[in-house]
Chain A
Amino acid sequence: MLREEILKNIEKDSRVDLHELAVRLGATDEVIASEMKQMEEEGVICGYHTMIDWEKTEMESVTALIEVRCTLQRGQGFDRIAERIYMYPEVKSVYLISGGYDLLVTLEGRSIKEVSSFVSDKLSTLENVLSTATHFILKKYKDHGTIMAKKSEDERQVITP
């Protein structure tokens, strides 16, 4: 239970002060620190990233979702082909999907052209890739549980009984 409580908190704010987290969860600093260390070692905690809305920066960037249909190699399943795809650094995520296609790949590039050339030059030419369908993201409303479209304001009366 404590683990889940820690995770729920750092998922929202990975920069939380560990002493404060211990106070909030009614645990000691040592217990929190050792749980976190263990979870890092076990790969439960995989990293401490920052949510960035790149659209608000000077950086040009586009994100695409790519549906990939593949053929399977004997004895290797999807893992081999997935690995071939996720090794590219521009690939942000790869999921095996049930339904109409096999892999869902998210890709970040500086421009539509850059993404297109990755798809046509690298992804489509992989031996086991049958077909791809590329969808460009036009606007991010919500990502990782965070609403990016608008900031919420406290609309309550200042003082109420």
Chain B
Amino acid sequence: MRDPLSATIKTIKPSGIRKFFDIASEMKDVISLGVGEPDFDTPWHIRDEGIYSLERGRTFYTSNTGLKELRSEICHYLKRRIGVEYDADKEVMVTVGGSEGIDIAMRAMLDPGDEVLIPQPSYVSYEPCCILAGGKPVIIELKEENEFRLTAQELEDAITERTKLLVLPFPNNPTGAIMERHDLEAIAKVIEKHDIFVLSDEIYSELSYKEDHVSITQLPGMRERTVLINGFSKAYAMTGWRLGYACAPEVILKQMLKIHQFAIMCAPTTSQYAAIEALKNGDADVAEMRDAYNQRRRFLMERFREMGLKCFEPYGAFYVFPSVKEFGLTSDEFAMRFVQEEHVAVVPGTAFGNSGEGYLRISYAYSIENLRLALERMERFIRKLRA
């Protein structure tokens, strides 16, 4: 029989998380700090609107771009939160999670051989999506000494004549790093100078603990060259609803919509109705969850300090990214022994790119009680390693 597979798909490695998932799921008393989604349930009033839409029999397709009311609410929200205006009819589309937006933006923008700058450590899907869209991923290795922010110099050094697009994943999964206004201003100059585009994945925008999140679209000249990705999963604890959105200049969005229209048709209708409620009346829920995450973040940082574990202070998302370099183990070895000996599951930094070597991603989307228990085990484990 002939090989049924494409040459491209065979070049893509399976996710590095799988191995730990298999081990951790088989253990009974494992404490996991490995989850990339909120521990909160979707606020009830939002769920209630989803249920109500089903009761009313709203079970049909929506328009390809998504419900008009939802797109308008997205525009109001962006105006309110970041002060950037989008045209609800031409510049906004509702997607199946932020992930779909990443995929279709790359497919709409890349030609074979176009280079895409991907800062790492970062979320696992940018690189495969780029490859599948025919692009060539060029990795920028972010550094702890810069708090895992992207510097203008790093960007400048990575740009070639083939560079088309920069992925900007902040607040960042897995490091928790943010980009403040001055950081963005510095890279905006380079972006403009080389006339490249930006895919700004701002899915964690509501989880920023130092100052309000700054979007690159707020800077002069940037909105015109940026595809903004956001969604409901992290801010409103709605991961399972699979709902996100993309905002971009009409010339790009129109083509993204074409892919979406043929591949997806439309985002889930029930989720869209629930999302309208989230944007209209969910601000207080977001603030409450953000406060809870922030308390856990401070708690973790203090515990690391007590243990003498090196960790830069992250101000975004719900991850901390401590260094385990002092133990002479790779991230993978550390994580493997930690789960086997102490039954705590964390994700090795290398799952998010080679530059994650020497680090662990620890999620604080868990109750304080859970974190407290896991950190007791971590302290014991570290003491054993140091002895």
Chain A contacts to B: CB under 8 angstroms: 5, 9, 20, 23-26, 154, 156-161
Evaluate contact between B347 and A23: CB separation under 8 angstroms: no
Evaluate contact between A23 and B345: CB separation under 8 angstroms: no
Closest-by-CB residue of B relative to A23 is: B302
Q: List 8 A-B contacts (CB under 8 A).
A: A24-B368, A154-B39, A156-B37, A158-B24, A159-B20, A159-B32, A160-B35, A160-B36
Closest-by-CB residue of A relative to B299 is: A24
| Cα–Cα distance between A20 and B303 once the two chains are bound (Å) | 10
B154 to chain A, nearest CB (A): 24
B17 neighbours in A (Cβ, 8 Å) = 159-161
Closest-by-CB residue of B relative to A26 is: B298
Closest-by-CB residue of B relative to A159 is: B34
| Cα–Cα distance between A161 and B15 once the two chains are bound (Å) | 9
| Cα–Cα distance between A26 and B209 once the two chains are bound (Å) | 12
A161 neighbours in B (Cβ, 8 Å) = 15, 17, 36, 123-125, 173, 347, 351
Most interface-central of A9, A26, A160, A161 (chain B CB within 10 A): A161
A5 to chain B, nearest CB (A): 7
A26 neighbours in B (Cβ, 8 Å) = 298
Q: Do A159 and B21 form a contact, CB below 8 Å, given A5-B291, A23-B302, A154-B39?
A: yes
Q: From residue 87 to 135 of chain B, which have CB atoms closer than 8 A to chain A?
A: 123-125
B276 to chain A, nearest CB (A): 26
Closest-by-CB residue of A relative to B305 is: A23
Closest-by-CB residue of B relative to A24 is: B295
| Cα–Cα distance between A62 and B262 once the two chains are bound (Å) | 62
Evaluate contact between A158 and B30: CB separation under 8 angstroms: yes
Closest-by-CB residue of A relative to B303 is: A23
Evaluate contact between A158 and B21: CB separation under 8 angstroms: yes
Helix, strand, loop or mixed for chain B's interface? mixed
| Cα–Cα distance between A9 and B296 once the two chains are bound (Å) | 12
| Cα–Cα distance between A62 and B124 once the two chains are bound (Å) | 56
Evaluate contact between B39 and A156: CB separation under 8 angstroms: yes
Instruction: List the 10 shortest-distance A-B pairs measured between CB atoms, nearest first.
Output: A159-B34, A24-B295, A23-B302, A158-B24, A159-B21, A160-B36, A158-B32, A161-B124, A158-B25, A24-B299
A159 neighbours in B (Cβ, 8 Å) = 17, 20-21, 24, 32, 34-35, 345, 347
B36 neighbours in A (Cβ, 8 Å) = 160-161
Q: From residue 185 to 236 of chain B, which have CB atoms closer than 8 A to chain A?
A: none
Seed contacts A157-B25, A159-B34; 18 additional CB < 8 Å A-B pairs? A5-B291, A24-B295, A24-B298, A24-B299, A25-B295, A156-B39, A158-B24, A158-B25, A159-B17, A159-B32, A160-B17, A160-B34, A160-B35, A160-B36, A161-B15, A161-B36, A161-B125, A161-B347
| Cα–Cα distance between A34 and B347 once the two chains are bound (Å) | 40
A142 to chain B, nearest CB (A): 12
A158 neighbours in B (Cβ, 8 Å) = 21, 24-25, 30, 32, 34-35, 345
| Cα–Cα distance between A156 and B20 once the two chains are bound (Å) | 15
| Cα–Cα distance between A159 and B366 once the two chains are bound (Å) | 13
A9 to chain B, nearest CB (A): 8
| Cα–Cα distance between A5 and B294 once the two chains are bound (Å) | 12
Closest-by-CB residue of A relative to B25 is: A158
A157 neighbours in B (Cβ, 8 Å) = 21, 25, 35
A24 neighbours in B (Cβ, 8 Å) = 295-296, 298-299, 368
| Cα–Cα distance between A5 and B291 once the two chains are bound (Å) | 9
